[in-house]
Structure 1
Amino acid sequence: MIVLHLQLWRRRQVIGHPEKDRKKEVPHPRMQFDDKSRVEKAKRRAVVKQTEARNRVELFRHLPQYERGTQRTELQSKFFELDPVHPAVYKVGLQYLYGDICGSNARCIAMLQAFQEAIKDYSTPSEKTLARDLTAKIGSYLSFLIECRPLSISMGNAIRFLKNRIAKLPLTLSELEAKATLRSDIDRFINEKIILADKVIVKHAVTKISDGDVLLTYGSPSAVEMVLLHAHELGKQFRVVVVDSRPKLEGQLLLHRLVGKGINCTYTHVNAISYIMHEVTRVFLGASSVLSNGTVYSKVGTACVAMVAHAFRVPVLVCCEAYKFHERVQLDSLCSNELGDPDVISKIHGREDINFLDGSTNSENLQLLNLIYDATPSDYISMIITDYGMVPPTSVPVIVRDYRREHLWI
C-alpha cells in the first residue's frame, strides 16, 4: 500500500493538484475546542471525519475530544483528494494514529526521518523558491500529522529547528546541495540532541547509583532504562521497583527487558506506591518535556509518584534531554493536555470478555476521562539530569536561554 502511495504521490507531483494552492485549515494543537464556531469550521475542512465525544468532561471541553473509529479507511479513501502528502509522512501518521510509535524520542525521530524522505523526493516548482515552498510543504505535512495525533512539545522544538534551517539556506546553493544540507542537519539533530544526549545523561545519572540502592521508576522511560542497564554493566548491585499503571501497562515491557538482563526487580501498580516507597532510596523518572518554571510534563501518574516520594523524603531525579525543554510556563494539567481513548479505561487488558460498565458507557450520567499527561511541580523534583549536566529545576530557564543562543528554537 505504501509503495502504491509513493507512485501516486510522484505522479501527482508531476501533474499537479487542482487545489494545491488552497491552504487547508486544521485544528491548531492548542485551539480552544469549546469555541463552537472554530470547531465547526475546522471539522468541515478536516481530512478525517471527526465526531465529538458523547459525554465530554466539563473541565476538559477545550481539548480535542474525538471518537476515533474508521480513520484509516477514511485516510486511504481520501488519499487522492488530499494535498500531496508524502508516503513516508503518511505511514508515520498512521503509526501515530494506532499507537505503533510511542514515546517522545521515538515519535520525534520517526517524524524527522519521514521529513528526510520527503526532502529527498522534493523538487522546487517553477517560479517558486525552495525555502518558501518547502516550508509550506512541511506545514501541510504537519497538518496531516496533527490530525493523526497532536504533536508533542519536543516535536514542536524539532520542527522549529528544521524550519529555521530551511529559512537560513544560502541562496547560492543549488537544489541538490540544499536538500543534502537539510538532510545532514536532520541527521545531526538526531545524533547530537537525542542519541548523544542520552549517552551523556547515562554518564551523569549512573554516578547517582550506589551498591545496595533500591531504585524506583514509573512506566517505561527510555533514558532511565539506559541508565539502569549501564549501571548493571558496571557491576553495581541494586534493585529496581517498576511501577506501572493502566491502560497501557508499559512498565511490563521495561520489566521484561530488565529481568532478561539479570537485574533484580519488583513490579507493582501505582495504587501501591505508598506501600513500596519506604524501601526506595532514589526515584528515576522520564519526561516528555520540562517547562520554563521547572514543571515536568510527563506521563499521567508521574506527579503522583513524585509527590509520594517527596513525602517520604526520597530524592526524585528526572532524566530529560535538553531539546525537550520549553519556554512555556504551566501550573496545572488542565489548560494543555492530550486525551486518549476513553473506552480503554473501562476494559480489562487480556479480559475483554469482562466489562462491568457494559451498558453504562452510553449513559448521559457517565463521563470517561483518559488523560495522557500530567504536570509535576518543581517542588517535588530534586534534580534534572540532562545533557547540560545535573541541574536543579530553577536552572531550566538558563538552558532554554542557551538553546536560543544556538538559534535552534527561533
Structure 2
Amino acid sequence: MIPRATRAKIETIRADNLSGAVALTRQAAQALLSVVDDENAPADDDRLLDSLGATAKALIAAQPTMAPLFNVGNQLLWTLESRPKGESIPHTVRQSCHTFLNAIEQSGGKIAKRAAALIEDGMTIMTHSASATVAQALYTARRDGKRFEIIATESRPMNEGVALAKSLGQAGIKVALLTDAAAFAQLAEVQRIFVGADSVSPAGLINKSGTLGLALAAQALGVDFYALCGLEKFLPDAYAHPPEPPKNPAEIVTETMDNVTILNFYFDHTPLDRLTGVITADNILTPADLQHTFAAIAIHPLLQS
C-alpha cells in the first residue's frame, strides 16, 4: 500500500535522532508527496487515499513524539476530504503540504519576535537542547540591540546544546555552557528559561530530557519558563502517546557493565501547570488558555484506528 520509495523516506525519518521538528516535517511532506508522484501510484482515488492514510500513520509511528508529523498528515487528510469537486488528489496533496510548510516557516519568525520582546537588557536567559525557534528568538533580540547573556546546557546524550552555544557565540552573544546537572545551581542568576517543544498536549509538554527538572526548579524559584512553538506542535487529548523506547546505550556509555542497564531516553513530559506560558505566533498562551486550542483539533478517522 505504501510505495517502496516512500517507505525508504519513512525509515530515514525513523533513524534521524538529530534533526529538529521543522526539518523532519519537511521530510514528512516529501514522503507524502512521493506517494502521488510514484510511477506506480494507484489510478483509483480510493486506493490512493488509502495509501496516503497508511503513509500518514507510518510517519506518526516513525517519530511519535513529533507533533508536526501528526499534523501534516492529519491536515492533509481533512483537506482531501473537503477538496472541491473535480480537484485531483495529487494537486490537493501538493497544495496542502506547501501550505503547511509555509505556515511553519512564517510562524517561526513571529514566535521569535514575540519571545525576543520578553528579553530585557541585562537579563540572563537559560536554554536547554537546541530549538531552532529559540535560537531565532535570541538572534532577533541581538539584532534589536539588546544586551543579554545565555546559559546553555550541553543537552546530553547528543550534545546539541554545544552546537547551539557555538552558534550563539559566533553571533556575538555571550554564552556560558554547562553540563545538564550543573544548570540547577545557576537558576538564581536566570530571569527566563526558553525551550522548544516536540509536542504540546493536555498530557503536557514533550521536550528534551531534563526539561521537566528545569521547569520544576524554575517554578520553585520563581523563574519564568516558556516553551516556544507553533500550533503545528499541538496535539488533541485523544492522541495516544506511545511510550518512548530506550535509545542506543552506546550514546551514554560504550562499556558493558555487569548488572547495569543503561536507559537512554531523549524526551520527558512536563505538566502544563509547570509552565509560565507557551509562546505562539499569535499570543502567549497560559496553561488554561491551551485547553481551548486542544479542543479544536479533530483527528481524522483514518488516523484513529
What TM-score, normalized to structure 2? 0.88
1:316, distance to aligned residue in structure 2 (A)? 0.6
Q: Aligned to 1:385, which of 255, 263, 279?
A: 279
- Relative distance call for 1:181 and 1:143 in structure 2 (3 A) is closer
- Relative distance call for 1:98 and 1:123 in structure 2 (3 A) is closer
SS of the equivalent of 2:117 reads: helix
1:311 maps onto 2:216 in alignment: no
- Relative distance call for 1:235 and 1:338 in structure 2 (3 A) is farther
Q: Deviations over 1:100-136 (max 9, x none)?
A: x52222212211123223323366645x3x1x21222
1:337 maps onto 2:244 in alignment: yes
What pairs with 1:127-166 in structure 2 (closer than 5 Å)? 128=44, 130=45, 132-142=46-56, 145=59, 150=64, 152-166=66-80
Query: Structure 1: which 5+ runs fail to align?
Result: 1-19, 21-82, 348-356
Q: Do the aligned residues in 1 keep the contact of 2:121 with 2:148 (CA within 8 Å)? A: yes
Q: Aligned to 2:83, which of 155, 169, 175?
A: 169
1:151, 1:283 → 2: CA distance?
Answer: 22
1:154, distance to aligned residue in structure 2 (A)? 2.7
What pairs with 1:38-117 in structure 2 (closer than 5 Å)? 84-86=3-5, 89-91=7-9, 93-99=11-17, 102-117=19-34
Q: Aligned to 1:203, which of 102, 106, 113?
A: 113
Q: Do the aligned residues in 2 keep the contact of 1:96 with 1:102 (CA within 8 Å)? A: no
- Relative distance call for 1:133 and 1:114 in structure 2 (3 A) is same
SS of the equivalent of 1:212 reads: coil
Q: Deviations over 1:82-116 (max 9, x none)?
A: x6322x551452253153x5222221221112322
Q: Which residue of 1 aligns with 2:157?
A: 247
Q: Do the aligned residues in 2 keep the contact of 1:145 with 1:151 (CA within 8 Å)? A: no
- Relative distance call for 1:156 and 1:254 in structure 2 (3 A) is same
- Relative distance call for 1:274 and 1:144 in structure 2 (3 A) is closer
- Number of aligned residues: 300
Identity of aligned residues (%): 25
1:396, 1:123 → 2: CA distance?
Answer: 43
Kindly provide the amino acid, as one letter, of the partner of residue 294 in structure 2.
Answer: V
Kindly provide the amino acid, as one letter, of the partner of residue 117 in structure 1.
Answer: S
Kindly provide the amino acid, as one letter, of the partner of residue 197 in structure 2.
Answer: A
1:187, 1:202 → 2: CA distance?
Answer: 22
1:276 maps onto 2:186 in alignment: yes
SS of the equivalent of 1:304 reads: helix
- Relative distance call for 1:222 and 1:119 in structure 2 (3 A) is same
What root-mean-square deviation, in Å, do the aligned CA atoms of Structure 1 and Structure 2 show?
Answer: 2.7
What TM-score, normalized to structure 1? 0.67
Q: Deviations over 1:217-246 (max 9, x none)?
A: 001011100000010011100001101232
Q: Deviations over 1:41-70 (max 9, x none)?
A: xxxxxxxxxxxxxxxxxxxxxxxxxxxxxx
1:166, distance to aligned residue in structure 2 (A)? 2.2
Choose 134-143 or 207-216, whichever is displaced more: 134-143
**Larger-gyration structure (1/2):** 1
Kindly provide the amino acid, as one letter, of the partner of residue 178 in structure 1.
Answer: I
Q: Which residue of 1 aligns with 2:102?
A: 191
1:320, 1:147 → 2: CA distance?
Answer: 21
- Relative distance call for 1:389 and 1:150 in structure 2 (3 A) is closer
